């Protein structure tokens, strides 16, 4: 019986080992650590004119590294707004975007200045957008039993060509409030802006929070595109603005991204109740003047729990007052009756 | 008899009332100037406290002999009272369709308060006339941002008597357009903790996950945030000697692999010391649970994004693998994962 158990155990062990993939343990390499500036690269170029831009690259690793430069195409998903980096080179620029030193070495902790050369063709188009990559010239080779991880940094390059026929044009595709009714602020607004021109633009503007559409003085003014985001031609980008100046307000907490209601009594004057209009005015410059685009939405702020609480308190107070008055009157009437009887 | 007298009195009162109403209507009509069929005032700059040029257009609808046009600028706009600053031209600077040079227009003849008076000659009904004021010393946008700043355009006879008047509205904004002309020195720092991830010996009895998950650490002042993408070389763990692959589990969707069934994916978690950005792990790669994650393939897929600046934003990559009873045994299963980070524009 004992021998049988040992035999079964032996067979099971062999079976287990045969189904296992032996991957030897490996000491950790020192990784990849790079800092780049500027990121992104935003430049104006002229047709037929060469332009050189400096890209600073710092090797933050603990040993000397040899890096190589590369180019990649990217696209933007109009529905999700997601930037999709591609494996391919950007074919429209690969022939005229070069690097002074395509492969270079940098000592640990040192900066290297790479010269990015744009030999702009005479028949250059309106805009070019692509990514410049910095990666190890000699990446870790694949070897059995381990997964190799290679790091790389991409720097977006957005080039606008100075052409007299360049058209700067923006349209507001949609302007929505995340909710129609808010209990407390913040109220969140999503402004979808489409670049319907042929050059890269950086829109700006304000969202005016008002009681009515034609109010002369807004209650609050929000910034549109406060981070200075760029919109590529034929791309729609969603910009979010939040109206936060309220009392009380929900704020993010550090734990698990949950929102917590904050009662800052010094903001009591910012108690928001009722109907509001958000009027967005986005402005872009067509090269000569500001061109505004306008959209508006209405929404409500109804702090129903707070109002309910106040109503209950008011009801209790009124009930108490009425009860006291009734009691007083009853006593007075009784006294009057007693006096009359006497 | 008394009834007849009363009836007469009532009729007389009604008649007088009607006549009075008509007279009042006529008087009011004659004193109320009519409005243009179309007006247009465009400020070339809308930023607060910014000197600006602009364009005025109006389409008259009343037959009269115009002598001047008065433009009233919105309250709060700083209007120069020096008439010499109110020079004009009639160059068509993207005027509305049908815009025609305003006849007789010239440097302002008066500027007081918010009202500036320009000379004009007779206008033809139904024509849209335009002119530009072309000196930035003339007017500056108000210092507060408001969506509806009202002003008016009025044409007058030589008497002077108002012929037509209409209101217009414009906005003042905190900041206006930015043309792409210069680079912004934003920095982006990306650190990968190591270049290998040894999963060890895989078995049918358990999920094997990275013993020391590799991290990418991002520091950036890029206000628009950052992105991390990844792809792999073989869409799975590949063995050359066994000519076999433990395939990535459904790339593009989130999955939880289970012991005993072949699977390979990468789970992603995140943390950040500080920064304005909110990090979001792409849905297919959400990890944090044993065996949970997304499969990588040869397409660069977004692992995580952030909406703002980052101080020590850490994206942790945990590779998970399981094998089945028919997985070919070999010691050279390997994969190359490429992780790329970038600051957004």
Chain A residue whose CA is closest to B237: A147
Report all structural domains of chain A as residue ranges with CATH numbers, in order of start: 29-138+150-161 (2.60.40.10), 170-304 (2.60.40.10)
A227: nearest CB among B94, B199, B223:
B223
Interval B156-160 mean pLDDT: 95
CB A150 to CB B336 under 8 A?
yes
- Geometric angle at alpha carbon A238, from A234 and A240, rounded to 5°: 155
Q: Is residue B242 part of a domain?
A: yes
Burial of residue A152 (CB within 10 Å: 0-12, 13-18, 19+) is buried
Instruction: Tell me the pLDDT band of A25, cut-offs 50, 70 and 90.
Output: very low
B299 reaches A (C-beta below 8 A): yes
3 state DSSP class of B24 = helix
Q: Is residue B166 part of a domain?
A: yes
CB A290 to CB B47 under 8 A?
yes
pLDDT of residue A337: 87
- Of B140, B172, B204, the position where a domain reaches its end is B172
B202: nearest CB among A21, A199, A227:
A21
Interval A314-320 mean pLDDT: 95
Please indicate, yes or no, whether residues B160 and B49 belong to a single structural domain of this protein. yes
- C-alpha–C-alpha distance, residues B191 and B177, integer Å: 36
pLDDT of residue A79: 85
Instruction: Give the CA distances from residue B343 to residues A84, A255, B187, in Å, rounded to whole numbers and listed in that order.
Output: 13, 26, 8
A230: nearest CB among B45, B334, B345:
B345
Q: Is residue B178 part of a domain?
A: no
pLDDT of residue B143: 93
Please indicate, yes or no, whether residues B223 and B337 belong to a single structural domain of this protein. yes
B175 reaches A (C-beta below 8 A): yes
Interval B197-204 mean pLDDT: 92
Please indicate, yes or no, whether residues B51 and B135 belong to a single structural domain of this protein. yes
CB B73 within 8 A of CB B118: no
DSSP state of B102: P
Q: Report the CATH number at residue B119.
A: 2.60.40
Number of Cβ pairs < 8 A linking chain A and chain B? 312
CB A31 to CB B203 under 8 A?
no
- C-alpha–C-alpha distance, residues A21 and B80, integer Å: 84
Q: Which of B333, B317, B116, B293 is nearest to A147 (CA)?
A: B333
Query: Which is it for strands A236-243 and B162-172: parallel, antiparallel or unpaired?
Result: unpaired
Structural domain that includes position B125: 33-172
Q: Is residue B116 part of a domain?
A: yes
Please indicate, yes or no, whether residues B202 and B166 belong to a single structural domain of this protein. no
- C-alpha–C-alpha distance, residues B119 and B102, integer Å: 10
Chain B residues close to A155, C-beta within 8 Å = 188, 342-343
Chain B residues close to A131, C-beta within 8 Å = 342
Interval A248-256 mean pLDDT: 78
- C-alpha–C-alpha distance, residues A39 and A156, integer Å: 7
pLDDT of residue A27: 31
| Mean pLDDT for chain B overall | 90
* Residue entry with tokens 């009162």: B13
Q: List phi, psi (to 5°) of A275.
A: -95, 135
Residue B219 CA to chain centroid, in angstroms? 27
DSSP state of B327: P
Q: Is residue B112 part of a domain?
A: yes
Chain B residue whose CA is closest to A41: B183
What are the residues whose beta carbons fall under 8 Å from the beta carbon of A236, sequence distance 6 or more?
Answer: A78, A81, A173, A192, A193, A194, A195
R_g (Cα) of chain A, nearest Å:
34
Q: What is the 3-state secondary structure (H, E, C) of B148-170?
A: EEEEEEEEECCCCCEEEEEEEEE
Number of domains within chain B? 2
Chain A residues close to B341, C-beta within 8 Å = 151-154
Q: Is residue B207 over pLDDT 60?
A: yes
Q: Is residue B7 part of a domain?
A: no
- C-alpha–C-alpha distance, residues A206 and A194, integer Å: 17
User: pLDDT of B295-305, one tens digit each?
Assistant: 999 999 999 99
Chain A residues close to B248, C-beta within 8 Å = none
Please indicate, yes or no, whether residues B211 and B271 belong to a single structural domain of this protein. yes
> Which tokens sit at B14?
């009604």
Q: Is residue B177 part of a domain?
A: no
> Which tokens sit at A116?
């990015």
User: pLDDT of A286-307, one tens digit each?
Assistant: 878 899 999 999 999 999 998 9
pLDDT of residue B31: 45
Please indicate, yes or no, whether residues B200 and B313 belong to a single structural domain of this protein. yes
Please indicate, yes or no, whether residues B316 and B193 belong to a single structural domain of this protein. yes
Please indicate, yes or no, whether residues B192 and B332 belong to a single structural domain of this protein. yes
Alpha-helical (H) ranges within chain B are: 2-31
Q: Is residue B211 over pLDDT 90?
A: yes
Please indicate, yes or no, whether residues B67 and B141 belong to a single structural domain of this protein. yes
- Of B172, B200, B215, the position where a domain reaches its end is B172
Please indicate, yes or no, whether residues B159 and B131 belong to a single structural domain of this protein. yes
Please indicate, yes or no, whether residues B58 and B165 belong to a single structural domain of this protein. yes
Count of Cβ atoms closer than 10 Å to residue A215 Cβ: 17
- C-alpha–C-alpha distance, residues B42 and B94, integer Å: 11
Q: Which residues of B274-293 are buried (b: 16+ CB within 10 A; e: fewer)?
A: ebebebebbebbbbeebbbb
CB B299 within 8 A of CB B282: no
Please indicate, yes or no, whether residues B150 and B274 belong to a single structural domain of this protein. no
CB A42 to CB B182 under 8 A?
yes
> Which tokens sit at B172?
């003042």
pTM (two decimals): 0.76
Q: Which of B76, B58, B77 is nearest to B68 (CA)?
A: B58
Q: Which of A185, A146, A118, A174 is nearest to A296 (CA)?
A: A174
User: pLDDT of B23-69, one tens digit each?
Assistant: 544 444 444 568 899 999 999 999 999 999 999 999 999 999 999 99
Chain B residue whose CA is closest to A46: B181
Min mean pLDDT across A28-32, A52-56, A338-342, B314-318 is at: A28-32
- Of B172, B198, B222, the position where a domain reaches its end is B172
B270 reaches A (C-beta below 8 A): no
> Which tokens sit at B268?
């992603």
pLDDT of residue B210: 95
Chain A residue whose CA is closest to B196: A148
Q: Is residue B233 over pLDDT 60?
A: yes
> Which tokens sit at A219?
């209650």
Chain B residues close to A287, C-beta within 8 Å = 179
- C-alpha–C-alpha distance, residues B41 and B54, integer Å: 7
CB B147 to CB A208 under 8 A?
yes
User: pLDDT of A222-251, one tens digit each?
Assistant: 999 989 999 999 999 999 999 999 999 998
Q: Is residue B38 part of a domain?
A: yes
Strand partners, B75: none
- C-alpha–C-alpha distance, residues A51 and B219, integer Å: 29
Burial of residue B300 (CB within 10 Å: 0-12, 13-18, 19+) is buried
């Amino acid at each position: 019986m004992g021998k049988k158990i040992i035999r079964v155990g032996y067979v099971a062990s062999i079976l287990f080992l045969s189904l296992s993939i032996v991957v030897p343990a490996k000491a950790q390499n020192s990784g990849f650590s790079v800092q780049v500036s500027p990121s992104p690269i935003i430049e104006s170029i002229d047709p037929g004119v060469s332009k050189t831009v400096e890209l600073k690259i710092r090797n933050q690793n603990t040993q000397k590294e040899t890096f190589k430069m590369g180019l990649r195409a990217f696209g933007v998903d109009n529905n999700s707004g997601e930037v999709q980096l591609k494996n391919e080179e950007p074919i429209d620029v690969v022939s005229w975007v070069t690097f002074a030193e395509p492969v270079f070495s940098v000592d640990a902790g040192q900066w290297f200045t790479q010269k990015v050369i744009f030999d702009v063709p005479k028949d250059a188009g309106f805009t070019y957008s692509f990514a410049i990559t910095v990666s190890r010239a000699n990446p870790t080779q694949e070897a059995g039993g381990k997964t190799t991880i290679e790091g790389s940094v991409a720097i977006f390059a957005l080039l606008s060509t100075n052409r007299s026929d360049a058209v700067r044009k923006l349209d507001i595709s949609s302007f929505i409030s995340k909710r129609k009714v808010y209990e407390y602020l913040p109220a969140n607004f999503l402004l979808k802006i489409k670049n319907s021109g042929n050059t890269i633009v950086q829109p700006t503007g304000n969202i005016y929070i008002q009681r009515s559409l034609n109010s002369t003085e807004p209650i609050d003014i929000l910034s549109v595109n406060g981070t200075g985001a760029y919109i590529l031609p034929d791309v729609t980008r969603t910009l979010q603005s939040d109206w936060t100046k309220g009392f009380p307000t929900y704020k993010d907490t550090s734990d698990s991204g949950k929102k917590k209601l904050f009662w800052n009594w010094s903001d009591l004057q910012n108690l928001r109740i009722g109907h509001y209009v958000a009027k967005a005015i986005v402005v872009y410059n067509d090269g000569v003047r500001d061109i505004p685009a306008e959209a508006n939405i209405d929404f409500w702020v109804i702090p129903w729990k707070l109002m309910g609480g106040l109503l209950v308190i008011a009801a209790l107070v009124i009930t108490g007052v009425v009860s006291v008055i009734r009691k007083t009157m009853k006593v007075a009437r009784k006294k009057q009756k007693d006096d009359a009887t006497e | 008899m008394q009834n007849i007298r009363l009836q007469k009195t009532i009729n007389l009162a009604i008649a007088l009332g009607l006549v009075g109403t008509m007279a009042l209507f006529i008087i009011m009509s004659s004193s109320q100037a009519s409005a243009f069929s179309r007006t247009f005032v465009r400020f070339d700059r809308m930023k607060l406290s910014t000197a600006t040029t602009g364009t005025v257009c109006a389409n008259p609808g009343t037959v009269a002999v115009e002598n001047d046009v008065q433009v009233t600028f919105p309250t709060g706009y700083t209007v120069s009272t020096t008439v010499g600053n109110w020079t004009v031209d009639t160059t068509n600077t993207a005027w509305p369709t049908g815009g025609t040079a305003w006849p007789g227009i010239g440097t302002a003849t008066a500027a007081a308060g918010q009202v500036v008076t320009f000379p004009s000659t007779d206008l033809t009904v139904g024509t849209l006339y335009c002119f530009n004021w072309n000196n930035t010393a003339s007017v500056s946008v108000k210092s507060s941002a408001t969506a509806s700043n009202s002003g008016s355009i009025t044409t007058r006879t030589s008497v002077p008597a108002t012929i037509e008047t209409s209101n217009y509205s414009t906005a003042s904004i905190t900041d206006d357009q930015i043309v792409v002309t210069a680079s912004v020195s934003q920095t982006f720092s990306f650190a990968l903790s190591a270049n290998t991830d040894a999963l060890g010996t895989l078995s049918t009895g358990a999920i094997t996950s990275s013993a020391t998950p590799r991290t990418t650490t991002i520091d950036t002042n890029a206000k628009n945030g950052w992105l991390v993408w990844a792809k792999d070389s073989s869409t799975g763990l590949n063995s050359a000697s066994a000519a076999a692959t433990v395939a990535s589990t459904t790339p593009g969707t989130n999955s939880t692999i289970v012991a005993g069934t072949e699977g390979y994916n990468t789970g992603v978690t995140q943390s950040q010391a500080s920064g304005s950005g909110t990090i979001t792990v792409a849905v297919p790669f959400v990890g944090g649970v044993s065996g949970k994650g997304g499969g990588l393939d040869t397409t660069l897929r977004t692992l995580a994004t952030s909406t703002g600046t980052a101080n020590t934003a850490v994206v942790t990559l945990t590779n998970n693998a399981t094998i089945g009873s028919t997985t070919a045994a070999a010691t050279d299963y390997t994969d190359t994962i490429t992780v790329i980070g970038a600051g957004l524009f």
